[in-house]
Each structure stands twice: as C-alpha cells, then as structure tokens.
Amino acid sequence: MTAVQPPTGPLAGIRVVELAGLGPAPYACMLLAELGADVIRVDRPGGGTQLVPPEREALHRSRPSVAVDLKLPAGRDVVLRLVDSADVLVEGLRPGVTDRLGLGPDTCLARNPRLVYARMTGWGQDGPLAARAGHDINYLGLTGALHAIGTADKPVVPLNIGADFGGGSMFLLVGILAALLERGTSGQGQVVDAAMVDGASSLVTMIYGLLGAGLWQDRRAANLLDGGAPFYDTYACADGRHVAVGAIEPQFHAQLLAGLGIDPEEHGRQDDVARWPEQRKTIAGVFATRTRDEWAAAFEGTDACVTPVLGLTEAPAHPHLAARGTFTDRGGHPEPAPAPRFSRTPGAVRGGPRTPGQDTRAGLQAWGLPAEEIQELLDAGAVVQAG
C-alpha cells in the first residue's frame, strides 16, 4: 500500500489522536482525515478483533496507523506525547477505560488545556446503562426510533446507520467542531460526551414534535413518513425489484397519478386516510405491470418523486451519482467519496486502510518523536512496526 497522502481540506492544520475502536469513532476520524485533519490512529499491537480483513476496512482509510501497547508505561507515555501537540483526542472505549490506562481527560487536559477530548459511547459516560454493552439496534430501541420504523407487524432494522453513524459519528463530529470553534474564543479545550442514544433521540425530534401535536400515531405504518401513506412507500414491480415513491406535496402527487394513468377523481383525496388501503392497492397493481427500470424511465424528468430502489452494486453507476463523483473506486470496489463538498478546500480520500502498526515509525516521527527514541520504543515492545 502506498503512503497516506498529505492532508488537504478545510481542517488542514488540525491534529487528531484516535484511540482505535470500532464503528462510529473510526468513521468520524475517517471523515476528519478526509476533510484535511492530520489524524494518527493508535492501534493495539496486532490490531485487536477485525470484522473484515484490514486491507478492506473502509473506515480505516486516509490516515496512518501506529501500534502502541497502552498497558506499558512507555506506551502510555507515547500517547501522552502525541496529546501534547494535538487539537483533538477521540476515543470510543467503554467509560472508565482510558482513565484506568492513565489517558483519561483529566490527565490529558492537564498536559494540554486546549485539547478537545471527544468520547464516543453507546449509552454515554453516566447513567444506569453506561457500563452495559449494546449495539445500534439497542440504542434505537430505547429512543422510540426503532418502534417507529418497519411494518405494522414488527420493527425493521435500518442497518446500523441510525444510532451508530447518524446518532453517533455525526453528533461526535458536531461536538468536536463546535468545541474547536469555541476554543477559538476561550482558548480552552473541553470534554465532548457523545452518546449514540442521545444522538439517535435527537434524530427523531420532528417525529416527537408531530406526536405532541397530535399528527402522529404511535404505531408503525400508520403515518405520513413510515409507509402508512400510499404516496410515500416502496412498490414491487413486474421483475420483483422496487421503486421508491415520495409524492407528498399535492402537485407531485398529481404527477404520480398521471404517470400511473390513475384517474384522480376515482382515486379520491390524498388526505383521505380512510381510503389509503384502497389507494395503495390501486397503486401497487399498476406498478406491478412493468419492470422497475421501465417505471424509472417513465417517470424520468418528472417531479412525481419516483425513483428506482438500487442495489449496492448498482448505485455507484447511476448517472446522477456518477456525474457528481459520489462514489470512488478502490481496488475495483466502489466506496463513498468524501462529503460534503467545498468550493476552495476540497477534501479527499488520502489512501486505503492501513494495517495496524504499518506506519509506526513514520507516523511517530511525523508527530515529532526522534528516530532514535522510536527505535528504543520498538526494542522495548512499547510500540510495534507491522510489515
């Protein structure tokens, strides 16, 4: 693998120490790196548990990896040296772990008062469940979000994008960027406690607002945005594939009916909830007469809000996504490109995933540790160079 490319982007000049973890924290650090931050990933020797082969772990791309034994005092001191010149430290370990390692926020902020110490957990740093294990589905389950997603019969798992990446990574990033912005005024760092359960709860703010206004029923497939409305749902086509329909506004709904050849007078009013089951049956019957791609072509250029439901292997080739460069190619496999876009300081994928410890020598030297000292640390087993 080639070396990680130099940072470019709006966060150029920001230095981030990442204590290796799984899922939301690595994703946030990948985004920071691709927006220009100088991120150094601190892995355990051997890399810990790998869910996928290291060379295909997309969340680990764009930043170097150094392997440090945090259980050894010399290894801990290496991280503290990195903290001294860092703007941000990101950790996604269970509450109390970094404190026991001697890398907790009190220790780090005492050395570097300008540090933004960002913590990513599922349940948060405190509360009755803080020490419990959990995953995206569990955090969504407690927020009400999972209850609202799915069919009338059961909740449906929305991958792990709701709590892990939406409620976790994104809110961690918001916290980091807000703390960096505030530091520009106060000159002081602080601790960011980002909990997936908090972020996932925030994501359903609008739904809770509708519920409070009496405009949402606390059951699935009975509301405007949960598949209850026949004009906001997916439909099977003649080839077994599906289209997505989002014709909420009356003018878009009119174009939907026109494209399907349905008489609006016979179909009934869009807001007549009592007729929704009948309307759904009519719409489903028409969509079933042609293939997905035939319907996509039929609605091309209209505002009926009808689009094909594309597979993961199909999406990167869609003309709109291809034109925008929404996906990039790495080793013959598509991966999403950096987002959002910037007019003057664009971000970039800076290289593929690194094997844990692949950049120990170069990474530590780039952060100011002398080559002779790095060799001593390697000899002592406090750090490990892989490969």
Give the residue among 64, 115, 62, 63 at the shortest CA–CA distance from 85. Answer: 115
SS3 sequence of the chain: CCCCCCCCCCCCCCEEEEECCCCHHHHHHHHHHHCCCEEEEEECCCCCCCCCCHHHCHHHCCCCEEEECCCCHHHHHHHHHHHHCCCEEEECCCCCHHHHCCCCHHHHHHHCCCCEEEEEECCCCCCCCCCCCCCHHHHHHHHCHHHHCECCCCECCCCCHHHHHHHHHHHHHHHHHHHHHHHHHHCCCEEEEEEHHHHHHHHCHHHHHHHHCCCCCCCCCCCCCCCCCCCEEEEECCCCCEEEEECCCHHHHHHHHHHHCCCHHHHCCCCCHHHHHHHHHHHHHHHCCCCHHHHHHHCCCCCCCEEECCCCCCHHHCHHHHHHCCEEEECCEEEECCCCCCCCCCCCCCCCCCCCCCCHHHHHHHCCCCHHHHHHHHHHCCEECCC
Out of 38, 69, 87, 164, which one is annotated catalytic? 164
Tell me whether the omega of the peptide bond preceding residue 338 falls within 30 degrees of 0, making it cis.
no
Q: 197 to each of 29, 124, 160, how far by Cα in Å?
A: 20, 8, 13
Give the residue among 40, 6, 117 at the shortest CA–CA distance from 356. Answer: 40
Active site residue 164: yes
Report residue 106 as tokens: 């009190």
Out of 135, 147, 242, 318, which one is annotated catalytic? 135
Q: Catalytic residue numbers?
A: 135, 164
